[in-house]
């Protein structure tokens, strides 16, 4: 007893002489007892939800305090664990330290996950919440530590394999032969060193301890068609595209025809001006296009057989903005000849004559025609959407809805896009031309759509949280959707006979690079 008393006295004197406090000693917890807000007490809490997440960006255990609308929550991330479920067994406070006790369940179905636990706190002094510290007590598990996080791994993969992508790969953590491996799956990415087959899929396994790539598998899924920008496409014939060239310091624009039948390419026309549109005649034997030079534009017709060019002469104050084939021998030409006035003329290619079609006391910025029925878009300044209107000869104009990109599908149905006010996406609306009743609506994420038959629409939509796009086909008769797959461009179209998806985009890793056109077989696209 005397020895113990002597030791205590010596210990106390040492503290006084060294001017140290108990909190400064390395073997004691550093807790400010005098300023403690809470004594040892139990919390009242409610576990709102437990998620087993595979978002592996941060694998370290942590706790976040969230206060919103007079409610206080703690978000608990226990770290990387093999789990099939988690339970919060207790929460208590001792001297401003919130101790959170967690029990892990690990059955045969358990996977490597980052659990996320949301807990609503009740009867807590809000003024002192910011002073609290949090401590996770792992009752029956230890968080798994890895040396190479996913951000470092992806940076190394992109550098070593010379790939370029704006999208995030599918990622998983798996166990194999007592090792924890990053399983990485890239879809539709650019192979920087391969210009002829620019788009690939890439699968990898990377050791999370050493950072070593233990498996890689590259799939060559694409074929380069050409440089250029697609102007229009027709399921029966092919597509028209433009190419910009500079030779001897002279800039030219060329129109090219890609033939679906034999995959051949043919240069159709060369000009010093800009080409703003080009479309096939219904029989596929000729095209019409508009050539623009500054504020002046001229429509032309070219016979694809002998490449004979016919200039369409309009009155001097009539500037063509859009041209559509009405029949094999007639064109509908949209012109704006005065402020807030538009006119659609009908041009007869047999005798080179113009006749009046539709005059509107507003600006038409696009239209689609089927026989004598016209679906048009009236320009609305400072608005995301224009006014969609239907014109039937002898019946006048009828307002349909707000939107843009009007298209007549067949004699029964019309379609248009409606921009969402709070996002970059669109809703696709399909309505009955006779009853004006809306038949089908696909909401929120549509980027573009194209007709591939009189009963089918091919469309692309954005993929949430990713820069990839999803492509699908809508059948108007069955009203069923068919998934085509994931692609990396909103500008694309699908050729049914060959089951090829054609995409058009600029190479992301080359500054000021021209757009390229390439194809991917439908069977190579992943449908998820």
Q: Are 132 and 93 in contact (CB under 8 A)?
A: yes
Question: Which pLDDT value is given to residue 31?
Answer: 27
Asked whether residue 330 is domain-assigned, the answer is no
Asked whether residue 303 is domain-assigned, the answer is no
Radius of gyration of the chain (CA): 33
Asked whether residue 22 is domain-assigned, the answer is yes
Asked whether residue 88 is domain-assigned, the answer is yes
The model's pLDDT over 166-224, given as tens digits with 9 standing for 90+, comes to 788 999 999 998 899 999 999 889 998 887 888 899 999 999 999 999 999 999 999 99
Q: Are 33 and 95 in contact (CB under 8 A)?
A: yes
% of the chain surpassing 90 pLDDT: 65
Distance of alpha carbon 71 from alpha carbon 302, whole angstroms: 70
Question: Which pLDDT value is given to residue 38?
Answer: 42
Q: Which residues pair with 97 in a beta bridge?
A: 94, 133
Distance of alpha carbon 221 from alpha carbon 524, whole angstroms: 6
Q: Which residues pair with 177 in a beta bridge?
A: none
CATH number at residue 457: 2.120.10.30
The model's pLDDT over 259-299, given as tens digits with 9 standing for 90+, comes to 999 999 999 999 999 999 999 999 999 999 999 998 889 99
User: Are both 131 and 177 inside the same structural domain?
Assistant: no
Among 169, 204, 220, where does a domain finish? 220
User: Are both 155 and 75 inside the same structural domain?
Assistant: no
Distance of alpha carbon 332 from alpha carbon 154, whole angstroms: 53
User: Are both 118 and 18 inside the same structural domain?
Assistant: yes
In Å, how far are 172, 214, 256 from 206, measured between CA atoms?
11, 6, 45
Query: What are the helix (H) ranges across 118-184?
Result: 150-161
Q: What is the pLDDT along the chain (528 residues), one digit of tens a residue?
A: 433 333 333 333 333 333 333 233 332 222 222 233 444 455 677 889 999 999 898 999 999 988 887 788 889 999 999 999 999 888 888 888 888 999 999 888 899 999 999 988 877 666 667 778 889 999 999 999 999 999 999 999 999 999 988 788 999 999 998 899 999 999 889 998 887 888 899 999 999 999 999 999 999 999 999 999 999 999 999 999 999 999 889 999 999 999 999 999 999 999 999 999 999 999 999 999 999 998 889 999 999 999 999 999 988 778 899 999 999 999 999 997 667 889 999 999 999 999 988 999 999 999 999 999 999 999 998 888 999 999 998 888 999 999 999 999 999 999 999 998 777 889 999 999 999 999 999 987 899 999 999 999 999 998 765 668 899 999 999 999 999 998 988 899 999 999 999 999 888 777 778 899 999 999 999 754
Asked whether residue 156 is domain-assigned, the answer is yes
Count of domains forming the chain? 3
User: Are both 504 and 525 inside the same structural domain?
Assistant: yes
CATH number at residue 154: 3.10.450
Question: Which pLDDT value is given to residue 399?
Answer: 97
Sign of the dihedral through C-alpha 162, 167, 170, 173 = positive
- How is 305-346 classified by DSSP, letter by letter? TT--EEEPP--TT-EEEEEEESSSSEEEEEEEEETTEEEEEE
- Residue 249: which residues within 8 A CB-CB, separation 6 or more? none
Sign of the dihedral through C-alpha 434, 439, 440, 443 = positive
> Which letter, b or e, does each residue of 404-428 get, where b requires 16 or more Cβ atoms within 10 Å of its Cβ?
bbbbbbeebbbbbbbbbeeeebbbb
User: Are both 434 and 514 inside the same structural domain?
Assistant: yes
User: Are both 174 and 104 inside the same structural domain?
Assistant: no
In 3D space, the residue among 230, 236, 286 whose CA is nearest the CA of residue 259 turns out to be: 236
User: Are both 464 and 507 inside the same structural domain?
Assistant: yes
Q: Give the chain's mean pLDDT.
A: 87
DSSP-derived secondary structure letter, 145: P
Among 138, 172, 204, where does a domain finish? 138
Contacts 24+ apart (CB under 8 A), 443-452: 444/420, 446/417, 447/490, 448/490, 448/491, 448/492, 449/405, 449/407, 449/415, 449/417, 450/233, 450/493, 451/407, 451/409, 452/235, 452/493, 452/494, 452/496
Distance of alpha carbon 23 from alpha carbon 25, whole angstroms: 6
User: Are both 124 and 157 inside the same structural domain?
Assistant: no
Question: Which pLDDT value is given to residue 35?
Answer: 31
User: Are both 121 and 164 inside the same structural domain?
Assistant: no
Distance of alpha carbon 76 from alpha carbon 63, whole angstroms: 5
User: Are both 73 and 187 inside the same structural domain?
Assistant: no
Question: Which pLDDT value is given to residue 394?
Answer: 80
Among 138, 167, 199, where does a domain finish? 138
Asked whether residue 268 is domain-assigned, the answer is no
* Structural domain boundaries enclosing 173: 150-220
Question: Which pLDDT value is given to residue 26?
Answer: 30
Q: Which residues pair with 244 in a beta bridge?
A: 253
Distance of alpha carbon 160 from alpha carbon 496, whole angstroms: 37
User: Are both 74 and 193 inside the same structural domain?
Assistant: no
Question: Which pLDDT value is given to residue 125?
Answer: 65
DSSP-derived secondary structure letter, 524: G
- The length of the chain, given as a count of residues: 528
Asked whether residue 210 is domain-assigned, the answer is yes
Asked whether residue 459 is domain-assigned, the answer is yes
User: Are both 194 and 158 inside the same structural domain?
Assistant: yes
Question: Which pLDDT value is given to residue 435?
Answer: 95
């Amino acid at each position: 007893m005397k020895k113990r008393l002597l030791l205590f006295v010596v210990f106390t004197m040492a503290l006084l002489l060294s001017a140290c406090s108990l909190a400064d000693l390395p073997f004691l917890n550093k807790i400010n007892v005098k300023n403690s807000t809470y004594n040892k007490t139990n919390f009242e809490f409610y576990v709102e939800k437990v998620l087993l997440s595979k978002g592996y960006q941060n694998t370290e255990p942590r706790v976040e305090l969230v206060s919103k609308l007079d409610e206080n929550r703690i978000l608990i991330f226990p770290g990387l664990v093999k789990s099939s479920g988690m339970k919060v067994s207790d929460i208590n406070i001792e001297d401003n330290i919130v101790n959170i006790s967690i029990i892990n369940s690990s059955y045969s179905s358990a996977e490597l996950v980052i659990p996320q636990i949301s807990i609503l706190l009740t009867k807590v002094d809000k003024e002192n919440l910011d002073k609290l510290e949090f401590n996770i007590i792992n009752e029956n598990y230890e968080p798994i530590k890895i040396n190479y996080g996913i951000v470092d791994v992806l940076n190394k993969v992109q550098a070593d394999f010379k790939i370029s992508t704006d999208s995030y790969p599918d990622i998983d953590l798996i166990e194999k032969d007592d090792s924890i491996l990053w399983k990485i799956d890239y879809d539709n990415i650019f192979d920087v060193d391969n210009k002829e087959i620019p788009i690939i899929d890439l699968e990898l396994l990377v050791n999370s301890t050493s950072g070593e790539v233990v498996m890689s598998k590259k799939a060559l899924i694409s074929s380069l068609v050409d440089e250029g920008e697609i102007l229009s496409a027709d399921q029966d014939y092919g597509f028209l595209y433009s190419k910009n060239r500079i030779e001897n310091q002279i800039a030219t624009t060329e129109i090219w025809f890609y033939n679906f039948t034999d995959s051949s390419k043919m240069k159709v026309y060369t000009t010093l001006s800009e080409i703003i549109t080009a479309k096939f005649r219904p029989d596929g034997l000729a095209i019409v296009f508009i050539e623009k030079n500054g504020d002046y534009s001229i429509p032309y017709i070219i016979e694809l057989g002998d490449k004979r060019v016919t200039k369409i002469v309009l009155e001097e104050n009539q500037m063509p903005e859009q041209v559509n084939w009405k029949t094999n021998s007639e064109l509908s030409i949209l012109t704006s000849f005065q402020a807030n006035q538009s006119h659609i003329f009908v041009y007869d290619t047999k005798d080179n004559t113009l006749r009046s079609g539709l005059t509107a006391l507003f600006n038409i910025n696009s239209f689609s025609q089927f026989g004598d029925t016209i679906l048009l878009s009236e320009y609305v300044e400072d608005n995301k959407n224009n006014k969609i209107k239907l014109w039937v000869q002898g019946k006048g104009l009828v307002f349909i809805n707000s939107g843009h990109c009007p298209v007549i599908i067949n004699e029964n149905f019309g379609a248009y896009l409606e921009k969402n006010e709070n996002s970059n996406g669109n809703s696709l609306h399909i309505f009955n031309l006779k009853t004006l009743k809306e038949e089908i609506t696909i909401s929120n994420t549509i980027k573009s759509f194209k007709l591939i038959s009189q009963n089918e629409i091919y469309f692309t939509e954005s993929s949430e949280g990713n820069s990839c796009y999803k492509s699908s086909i809508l059948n108007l008769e069955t009203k069923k959707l068919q998934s085509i797959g994931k692609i990396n461009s909103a500008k694309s179209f699908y050729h049914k006979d060959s089951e090829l998806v054609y995409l058009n985009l600029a190479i992301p890793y080359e500054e000021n690079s021209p757009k390229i056109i390439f194809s991917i077989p439908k069977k190579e696209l992943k449908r998820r």
